[in-house]
């Protein structure tokens, strides 16, 4: 009979020990802390340990002791921070605290494919948010997209790739002393960027509506050489395997310094932005919906088309307001884009000073603090209609429609 040691809070301990006995395992010891369990392992060696992935029940000493004695540990995670904590200690055998017993047992017995679904590599979608100079709202849009996607229940990482004016960390009230994206690039350059490392260097924006990972940007623009094009491409490839959606906040400039430099191998200031745009499946190109913003956008859009294919681009005109562009603002913006840039169907996001000021003030997203904002509603529609997979229902409806018009 296999023996199991437990280190769990009381409410979990009761249900797990009942299941263990019912399934024919023998309960060897119940401990109330990681250190107590580590000392126990030195005396009696169970076959397995089930513990909660909090600092009280799991620490490095326990992992070292379990490795030395060959005991398999399975950690139950109740929150994102517990999942991250387990990852930071290199523990991959994690399962949700409210998982079925069958899942826990599969992990205990080392069943192949039993690992937490979140640990499985995936082929996520990468979305780059770009826009010309003049603060049209690239960062705001990248944050809104990440928040909106996370609300839809998919896993999301938001990375600050802007080598000129990185600002995601202050916008979300996160620390940026150790820039996560620069660390990711460094590790990717050394071919050592694993999911565990990403979870160690990433920070979490936590909210009940849908939390997401954040890889913060370089606080000092002089650190731009750390984000070389090759490293950025490699870091993005790792993010693709890590989460369902990676959102990249990029810089404005697309100037390619190699054309004016005699040294082709010199690092390039805008290499990160260009690499992000080329790696992305979708590019959300953001302009400001006022006369100056429109003219800047139209000029820069020409450069964007030289960098990537047009079919990957969704144009968003942000901060739409009649006070800056005159009556019939939507029609005017659409007409100008169509006439001077051949751009059809832009997404129009209304100006909402109160919502965005509130977000900056509190370090929260507008999804959290102003869910009914017209700007949020416009971004939510973009996410539903263009970025998330279309629901089967829509396909079915089309199919029904098509069959209905077929001759009988």
List residues near ligand ATP by CB under 6 A.
131, 135-140, 162, 165, 167, 252, 318-319, 349, 351-353, 356, 360, 375
Least distance (Å) between residue 2 CB and ligand ATP: 55
The residue with tokens 């965005």 is: 356
* CA-angle at 193, arms to 190 and 198, nearest 5°: 145
349 binds, among Mg ion, ligand ATP, none (CB under 5 to 8 A by kind): ligand ATP
- Tell the smallest beta-carbon distance from residue 290 to Mg ion (Å): 18
Q: What is the DSSP track for 278-308? A: HH-SEEEEEEESSHHHHHHHHHHHHHHHHHS
50 closest CA partner among 22, 78, 17, 23: 17
Based on CB atoms, which residue is closest to ligand ATP, 242 or 356?
356
Closest contact distance (angstroms) between CB of 100 and ligand ATP is: 43
88/81 Cα distance (integer angstroms): 10
**Separation CA 145–CA 405 (nearest Å):** 38
Within 139-198, the residues that bind Mg ion by CB under 5 A are: 139, 167
Q: Is 139 or 238 the residue whose CB approaches ligand ATP more closely?
A: 139
Contact 270, 132 (CB under 8 A): no
Our CB check for ligand ATP shows the closer of 319 and 364 to be: 319
| DSSP string for 48-95 | EEEEESSTTT--HHHHHHHHHHT-EEEEEE-SHHHHHHHHHTT---EE
Choose the one of Mg ion, ligand ATP, none that binds residue 364, judging by a C-beta under 5 to 8 angstroms depending on kind.
none
Within positions 62 to 121, which residues make up the interface with Mg ion, using CB under 5 A?
none
Residue 140: name its binding partner from ligand ATP, Mg ion, none (Cβ under 5 to 8 Å by kind): ligand ATP
Secondary element (H or E) of residue 237? helix 229-242
Q: Which is nearer to ligand ATP, 131 or 180 (CB)?
A: 131
Answer with the entry of ligand ATP, Mg ion, none that 131 interacts with (C-beta below 5 to 8 A by kind).
Answer: ligand ATP
Q: Which residue, 139 or 336, has its beta carbon nearer to Mg ion?
A: 139
Q: How many binding residues for Mg ion (CB under 5 A)? A: 3
CB atoms within 10 A of CB 201: 21
Q: Among Mg ion, ligand ATP, none, what does residue 108 contact (CB within 5–8 Å per kind)?
A: none
Q: Which two tokens stand for residue 26?
A: 């023998």
Which of positions 121-140 make contact with Mg ion (CB under 5 A)? 138-139
Nearest alpha carbon to residue 51 among 6, 88, 106? 6
| Closest CB to Mg ion: residue number | 139
* Cβ at position 375, least distance to ligand ATP in Å: 4
Helices (H), ranges, 287-389: 291-307, 322-325, 329-341, 353-362, 366-369, 374-382
Of the pair 197, 352, the CB lying nearest ligand ATP is at 352
Q: Which does 318 bind (CB under 5 to 8 A by kind): ligand ATP, Mg ion, none?
A: ligand ATP
Q: Which two tokens stand for residue 241?
A: 């395997």
Q: How far is the CB of 278 from Mg ion (least distance, A)?
A: 20
> Which of the listed partners (ligand ATP, Mg ion, none) does 319 bind, with a CB threshold of 5 to 8 Å by partner kind?
ligand ATP
| Sites of contact with Mg ion (CB under 5 A) | 138-139, 167
């Amino acid at each position: 009979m296999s023996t199991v040691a437990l280190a769990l809070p009381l409410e979990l301990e009761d249900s797990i020990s009942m299941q263990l006995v019912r399934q024919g395992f023998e309960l060897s010891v119940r401990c109330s802390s990681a250190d107590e369990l580590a000392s126990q392992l030195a005396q009696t060696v169970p076959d397995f340990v089930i513990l909660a992935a909090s600092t009280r029940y799991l620490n490095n000493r326990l992992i070292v002791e379990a490795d030395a004695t060959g005991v398999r540990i399975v950690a139950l995670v109740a929150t994102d921070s517990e999942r991250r904590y387990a990852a930071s200690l290199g523990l991959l055998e994690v399962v949700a605290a409210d998982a079925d017993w069958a899942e826990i047992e599969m992990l205990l017995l080392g069943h192949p494919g039993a690992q937490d679904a979140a640990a499985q590599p995936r082929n996520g979608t990468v979305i780059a948010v770009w826009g010309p100079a003049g603060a049209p709202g690239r960062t705001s849009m990248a944050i809104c997209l990440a928040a909106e996607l996370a609300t839809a229940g998919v896993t999301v990482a938001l990375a600050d790739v802007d080598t000129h004016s990185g600002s995601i960390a202050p916008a979300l009230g996160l620390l940026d002393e150790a820039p996560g994206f620069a660390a990711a690039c460094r590790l990717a350059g050394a071919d050592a960027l694993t999911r565990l490392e990403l979870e160690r260097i990433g920070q979490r924006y936590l909210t009940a509506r849908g939390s997401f990972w954040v890889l913060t940007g370089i606080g000092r623009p002089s650190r731009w050489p750390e984000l070389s094009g090759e490293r950025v491409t490699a870091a993005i490839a790792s993010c693709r395997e890590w989460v369902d959606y990676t959102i990249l906040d990029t810089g404005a400039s697309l100037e390619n310094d190699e054309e004016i430099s005699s040294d082709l191998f010199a690092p390039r200031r805008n290499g990160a932005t260009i690499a992000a745009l080329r790696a992305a499946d979708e590019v959300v190109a953001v302009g400001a919906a006022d006369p100056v913003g429109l003219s800047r956008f139209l000029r820069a859009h020409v450069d964007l088309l030289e960098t990537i294919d047009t079919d990957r681009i969704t144009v968003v005109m942000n901060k739409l307001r009649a006070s800056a562009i005159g009556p019939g603002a939507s029609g005017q913006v659409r007409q100008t884009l169509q006439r001077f840039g051949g751009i059809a169907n832009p997404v129009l996001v209304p100006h909402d000073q109160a919502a965005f000021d509130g977000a900056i003030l509190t370090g929260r997203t507008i999804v959290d603090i102003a869910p009914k904002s017209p700007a949020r509603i416009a971004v939510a529609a973009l996410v539903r209609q263009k970025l998330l997979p279309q629901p089967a229902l829509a396909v079915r409806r089309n199919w029904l429609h098509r069959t209905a018009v077929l001759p009988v």
